[in-house]
Structure 1
Amino acid sequence: MSNIKIWPVEEMVQEDEFTDRVELLRELDHWVAAIQRMAASSTALIAPRRIGKTVFLDRLVNTVFFKPEYKVAPFYFKMTREKRTLRKFLLEYATTFYRQYLAYCEQDPVLFRNTNVDLECLVKLKAGSAAGALALERAAIFLDRYNRGNDENALHHWDALIREPEELASFTDTRVAVIIDEFQDMQLCVYDMPKELMDSKDRSDGYGAIRLANTYDRQSQSRKAPMLVAGSAVTMVFKTVMGGPLGGRFDCMYIKPLSVPDGAALLHTALKYYASPEQTVTPELALYASTQVGGHPYYLYSLATSKCSGKSFKSEEEINRVIRYEIENGKIYGFWRTHFDNNRELINQDDDTELGKKIIYYFTRYNNQPVDTKAIADKLGVEKKAVAKKIDKLYAADLVYRSAEKFYSFNDICLMRFIKFVYEQDLEGVDEVDLSQQGLINTMKGKFLEMVAEVSMLKFNHEQLPAAWFSAGSGKAEKVEVPLFQYVRTQTVKASASPAYQLDVLGKDPEEERVWLCECKYTRKPMGIAQVEKLEAAAEVFRQQQDEEGLPVPEIRFWLISTGGFTEEVRELVHSREDLYASDYEGINNIFKAFGGNYSIPLFAENDRE
C-alpha cells in the first residue's frame, strides 16, 4: 500500500491515458510558478465541449500540488449546476478553500480531496507550517461569523470571503492560484434569498440568480491570488470574462483537439483499457481514425467504447462504419442531440423553420473556416441579414465561434456530419454537402513526419538522449541534450533579396539563443546531400531575415529526419559536424516513443509517398 500514489484530485482517466497537452500544461505550470513573483494575470481557458478541459485541470492541480518550492496553493473549485442559496454556497466555498490551502501547506493530498472534512472539523486540526496555522485561525473566524449570520447578510459575508485567497497570500509566504471550473454557472445557480423564496418560484435558466461571477471584479486583478477559469459553454464563458465588470481583466487561452499523431496514440491506449483484447488497430489505421474525427479526444474515446455490432478497426471501411454508427446512433449522436435539444430555441425556432434548417445545413461546408454568409444567402435566395441572424444564434449556441469579427465553424468534422445526418433527410432541393476527409488524409500523409517531429519537440525538457538516435549510424558517441523549446512551428523565411523557404519545423531555444531547423522526408529513399544544402540555404536566409529585422542572430542546429535513411555522403557529413543531427526511421521512432508515442511510426505503401 505504501507504494500507491495518492493524488489530491482523483482523475477521470488512467494515468497513461492522459495524452498530449504537454505544451499547454507546461505553460500553465509556468503561470502558477509566476504567481510567487506576482507576474501572472488572471486567465480564461476557452474550449469546445468534451475537449478534455476538466481532465486537463485535474492534471494541472495534481502537478503543481507536489511542487512546494512554488509556494503557490492551488484552490480548485468545481462549480456545479445545483440550485442553492448564497448562504449555503458560502459555507461550501469557504470549506473547500481553507481545506485545500491547508492541505497544500502540509503537503497532505488526502486532506485536499477529503470532502467529508467539514469546517468545524477542519478548525480543530493542527498545522505544522505558519501559513497553515494562519489559515486555520482565519477559518475559525469565518465559521464564528457564519454561525452568527443569516440569509440577510450573506452577500456582505461573501464580499469578505472572496478576498480570503489574496489576504492569506499577503500575510504568508504561500500565494494562491484560484482555479474555477464551469465558471459561467456562477451566473445562474446561486440565489441571494432564503431557501423558501428560492423554491417558491420557477428558477429555470437562472431566473433571479445573483450574477456571482461579476463579484470577482477585484479578485480577477489580484497578482497574489490570480484566477484561472474555464467552462464548457464557450460563448458564455467568453462573455462572462470579457464583458461587464470583468471586461479586460482576463487573458484567454484556447484548448484545441489533439494533434493527429497524439490522437492515434490515445486510440491505442483507449482500446487497451475499454475494448476486448482482440480489438486492436495498426498505426496506419489509428492515424486514419484520428484524422477522421479531427483528433477529438471524446470522439476517439467513443470509438474505443462503441457498441457498434461487429466493431472492428482492421480497415478504413470498418473504421468508417464505427464512426457512422457513433454519429447516427451512439455517444456522439447522444451528445450532440442533447446539445441541440438544450439549445432548441436558438437552433430550430425561426420565422421560417425550413430556412433555418437549410442555413445550418449549408453551414457544414465551412469546417474551421470563415462562414461566408453572402455565399449561403446567394445559394438559398434569401437576404444576407437572415443568414447573419441565424449565425448569431448558432454562435450563442456554441456551434460557431467568433474571431476578428468573423464567424468560424468549430474544427469538428463529427459535428458537421451530425448536422448533415439530422437535416439532410428533411430537406428537398438542396445540393448534397461533401464532407469527405480523403483530401485531409492525403495531406496528413505528406505532413505526418513533420507533425511527429513537432509533437516530440514540444515535449523536450533538457533530457539526455542516446546519440545513436541523432546520428543515423554515423558513429557519434556522446549523448544529445534536447532543449526546452519556447515554441515549435512550421515557418516561412525570406530576406529582402532572397527567395522564400519553407522550414518544415523550427524550434526556438530561449536559454541558449539557439534554434533547431528540421528537414523531414517521409519516403523510402535515402536523403541525399541536396536536401542538406537546401536546409543550409534556408538557414542563411533565416539569418539574413533576423539581421534585417534587428533581431539577434541565434546559433543554429540542423536536424535531418528521413524514414528512408541517408546516403553515405550525408552520414559522413553528420559525423564530422557537431551542429548537424540526423535521425533515420529507427532513430525518430525511438524519440517519438520516448516522448509518449505508443505505436511505431507507420510506413505507408510505397506508392503513397515518393
Structure 2
Amino acid sequence: MPLKEFTSRHFLGRDSEIKILANVASQAGSGDAGSIILLGKRGIGKTELLRNLYNELFNSSTNTVPFFYAINTAFASVESFSEDYMSSFVLQYLAFTGKDPSLINAGIYSLEDLRAIAAKSEAAWISEIIDNYSQIKLDGDLLKLFSYVISLPYYSYRHTGIPVLVIIDDFHKIRKLSELSEHGYDKDLWMLFENQMKFRFSPHIIAGYKAELHKMFFEETSFGEHLEIISLGGLSRHDSSGLFRALCAKYSLSCEADMTSLLELFGGNPFYIKSFVQAARQAARSFSPEDFWEIYISEITKGKIYTYWTSILKSYIRRFELRKPTLALLYNLCENGTDDVSNLSSALSVKQEDIDYILGLLHTAGIVETGFSAMDLVDDLILIDLIKGLYHKEIIREPWDRIRESLSGERDQPVLPDKAPAFDLVIPAALKAELVAVKSLEQVARYYRIPPDAVGQLQVSLIDLFSAVLATNGTPGGNYKLKFILRDNVFSVEILTSRHGLIFTDSVMRHIKFYIDDIRVEEVKHGSKITLIKELKKDIASAQ
C-alpha cells in the first residue's frame, strides 16, 4: 500500500461508509454524482475515514482522480490558501495519473518547481493553469484568485475528460480565511464553492464540525438542500472492542478481564479509546477492571482527553470572566437536564444575555445541540464526567482525591437489573400528556443508565402511542398510570388507561413496533394496559 503513512493501521468498522463514499467516485465517471456533507461528533473518526477513502481510491482501478485537502488555518490569507490548494491539487493529480505517490508529500510550493514537474509529465494544460494562476495573482484580484483555484477540478475535467472527487476535511475552518482577510468583499468566500459542488463530474465530500457546517449550509445559505448528508456514528461494540484489543497488543498491554462492557462508556469514539489505551500504557503493562476506573478518572481529570476538551472550551469561551459561569451552566445541565433553561439566570446568578451568549458558543462548539424548540447536551458520557470533574475542581475547589472518590463512587455502585426498583407515575389525561410521559421516561432511563439510542427509540414509540392511539380513541379523562421496569436487560413501559376497547390498526402497530421489540395490549378490570418492551444489549444495565 503506497500510502500507508497517510492512514492508521488501526482502522476498523467503517466498511459500509467507505463503500458508500467510494461509490461517489464511480458515479462521477458517468456524471451522476452528487456532493456529500459528512457530519459527526468530535473524535468520531471523520478525518481517518476520509484518509482511508483517499487511500483506497488512489490504489484502486477507478478512473476518478481523488483529491484530499484539509483546511489549514496556518494559511491565513486568500493568497496563501490559493497557492497551497492549487499546488496540492496539481501534485495529487500527477501522483494519481502517474502512479507516483511520492509526489503527494513532496512539499513543493514554488511555482517554478511546480512548472518543472508539470513539464516532465507532458500535461500541457497544467502548465497553462499555473500560468493563469500567476497572472491572476499579479493582477491582485483575490476574489478571482480564490474562485479560480477551487475551480481547478472542473477545469481539469474539461481538459482531460477525467472526473475528480474532491475530499475536503475541516471545511468549517475556511471561515477563518475570511475573518483574517483585510478585504471586505470576501467575507463569504466559502460560498463560491456552491457551483463547484453542483458539478457532477467533480463532486465534493465535505467534512467538519456539525454545528458549524449546519449553520453554513442550512442557516446562512440554502444550498445544503442540494447535498446528501451522512452522519458518522460511533463504532459498534464489536469494533470498539477490536480497536481496544489491537491497541493493547500494539503497546504490549494485557487485560485481566473482558473489558467489552466497560468500553460502552466511550460510545464507539476512536479518539477516546486510543487516548485511554495510551494512558494505560503509561500507567502499567497490565490492568484489571479496578485499574480501568483509576486510569479513566485520571484521564478525564488531567490527561489527554481532559486537555483536549478544556482547550476546546477555552477556544470558544474566550472571555475569562465567562468561564466559571459556563462551567456552572454545563454542570447544571448535566445534573438537572435541559428541559427548562428559563430559570438558569437566577439559579446561577448570571445575566440572561450572558446565558444566551454562552449557549450559542457551546452550540457552535458542538457541546450543546439544539433542535427547533429543544436543547440537549451532546450525547457523550465522557464529556459529562469531565464536566463534573472540572466543576468539582475549579468551582467547589475539591482536592483530586475527593474528585476521584466522587466520580468513582457513581461508577462503583451500579443498579443491578434484578434488584432495580420499578417507577410508578400518574399524569393527567390531558393535552400534551405525551410530553410529560416522554420526559419522565428520560429521567428514569438516566437513573438506570440505559443507552441514549434505546431511550430515543422508546420515546418515539411512546409519542406515537399517545398521538396515534390514545388521542384517536378519545380522551378518557382522569389519569394515565405509567410504570417503568428494568428486569433481566428488558426495559418496559406500562401505560394504564381507563378506556376499554382501544382500537389499534395494523399500520399503527407496525409503526410503533418499528422502534421497539414488542407492544402488548390487554383488557384489565379498570380499563386497558399497554406495554412497550425494549430489549437492551447484554449486561448493559450493569456495565456502569
Same fold (TM over 0.5): yes
Q: Any idea what the Cα deviations from partners look like across 1:102-154, whole Å, max 9, x if unmatched?
A: 33333433334434484212221236xxxxxxxx2221112223344416134
For 1:566, the equivalent position in structure 2 comes to none
* TM-score normalised by structure 2 residue count: 0.67
Is 2:190 aligned against 1:213?
yes
The CA distance in 2 between the partners of 1:372 and 1:152, in whole Å, is 53
Secondary structure in 1 aligned to 2:121?
coil
Secondary structure in 2 aligned to 1:272?
helix
Is 2:18 aligned against 1:22?
no
For 2:473, the equivalent position in structure 1 comes to none
The CA distance in 1 between the partners of 2:415 and 2:286, in whole Å, is 17
* Match among 165, 168, 175 for residue 153 of structure 2: 165
The CA distance in 2 between the partners of 1:10 and 1:419, in whole Å, is 35
* Match among 350, 363, 380 for residue 395 of structure 1: 363
What's the offset of the Cα at 1:361? 0.7
The CA distance in 2 between the partners of 1:310 and 1:156, in whole Å, is 55
Secondary structure in 2 aligned to 1:257?
coil
The CA distance in 1 between the partners of 2:152 and 2:345, in whole Å, is 54
The CA distance in 1 between the partners of 2:100 and 2:182, in whole Å, is 40
What's the offset of the Cα at 1:327? 0.9
Q: What pairs up with 1:6-405 in 2 under 5 angstroms?
A: 6-7=2-3, 10-14=5-9, 17-69=10-62, 71-116=63-108, 118-126=113-121, 136-148=123-135, 149-150=137-138, 152-189=140-177, 206=180, 208=182, 210-211=186-187, 212-231=189-208, 233-244=209-220, 247-248=223-224, 249-273=226-250, 275=251, 277=252, 279-281=253-255, 284-288=258-262, 290-306=263-279, 310-311=283-284, 314-345=287-318, 349-350=321-322, 355-365=325-335, 372-374=340-342, 387-405=355-373
Unaligned runs of 5+ in 2: 398-402, 418-456, 466-487, 490-505, 512-536
What's the offset of the Cα at 1:44? 1.7
Mapped contact 2:279–2:303 kept (Cα < 8 A): yes
Mapped contact 1:216–1:246 kept (Cα < 8 A): no
C-alpha change, 1:305 and 1:356, in structure 2 (3 Å) is closer
What's the offset of the Cα at 1:88? 3.5
Cα RMSD, aligned residues only: 4.2
Mapped contact 2:317–2:361 kept (Cα < 8 A): no
Mapped contact 2:133–2:148 kept (Cα < 8 A): no
For 2:534, the equivalent position in structure 1 comes to none
C-alpha change, 1:114 and 1:441, in structure 2 (3 Å) is farther
The CA distance in 1 between the partners of 2:305 and 2:367, in whole Å, is 15
Mapped contact 2:368–2:375 kept (Cα < 8 A): yes
What's the offset of the Cα at 1:321? 0.3
Q: Any idea what the Cα deviations from partners look like across 1:531-570, whole Å, max 9, x if unmatched?
A: xxxxxxxxxxxxx869999xxxxxxxxxxxxxxxxxxxxx
Q: Any idea what the Cα deviations from partners look like across 1:295-322, whole Å, max 9, x if unmatched?
A: 2211111121116864365322210000
C-alpha change, 1:354 and 1:18, in structure 2 (3 Å) is closer
C-alpha change, 1:262 and 1:374, in structure 2 (3 Å) is farther
Residue type matched to 2:91 in 1?
A: R
The CA distance in 1 between the partners of 2:120 and 2:146, in whole Å, is 24
Mapped contact 1:235–1:396 kept (Cα < 8 A): yes
Mapped contact 2:389–2:407 kept (Cα < 8 A): no
The CA distance in 2 between the partners of 1:46 and 1:322, in whole Å, is 30
Instruction: Identify the structure with the greater helix proportion.
Output: 2
What's the offset of the Cα at 1:266? 0.9
Mapped contact 1:308–1:322 kept (Cα < 8 A): no
What's the offset of the Cα at 1:355? 4.7
Mapped contact 2:75–2:81 kept (Cα < 8 A): no
Secondary structure in 2 aligned to 1:253?
strand
Mapped contact 1:11–1:55 kept (Cα < 8 A): no
Q: Figure out how many residues of one structure are paired with residues of the other and give that number.
A: 426
Mapped contact 2:301–2:386 kept (Cα < 8 A): yes
Q: Any idea what the Cα deviations from partners look like across 1:319-346, whole Å, max 9, x if unmatched?
A: 0000111111211111112112222237
Unaligned runs of 5+ in 1: 128-135, 191-204, 444-489, 497-521, 524-543, 550-601
Identity of aligned residues (%): 19
What's the offset of the Cα at 1:164? 2.5
Secondary structure in 2 aligned to 1:284?
coil
The CA distance in 1 between the partners of 2:181 and 2:121, in whole Å, is 43
Q: Any idea what the Cα deviations from partners look like across 1:19-43, whole Å, max 9, x if unmatched?
A: 2122222221222222223333222
The CA distance in 2 between the partners of 1:101 and 1:181, in whole Å, is 18
Mapped contact 1:306–1:322 kept (Cα < 8 A): yes
C-alpha change, 1:165 and 1:414, in structure 2 (3 Å) is same
Mapped contact 1:270–1:301 kept (Cα < 8 A): yes
The CA distance in 1 between the partners of 2:361 and 2:509, in whole Å, is 49
The CA distance in 2 between the partners of 1:345 and 1:548, in whole Å, is 50
The CA distance in 1 between the partners of 2:108 and 2:198, in whole Å, is 32
Q: Any idea what the Cα deviations from partners look like across 1:343-369, whole Å, max 9, x if unmatched?
A: 2237x644xx76543221112248xx8
Secondary structure in 1 aligned to 2:254?
coil
C-alpha change, 1:82 and 1:213, in structure 2 (3 Å) is same
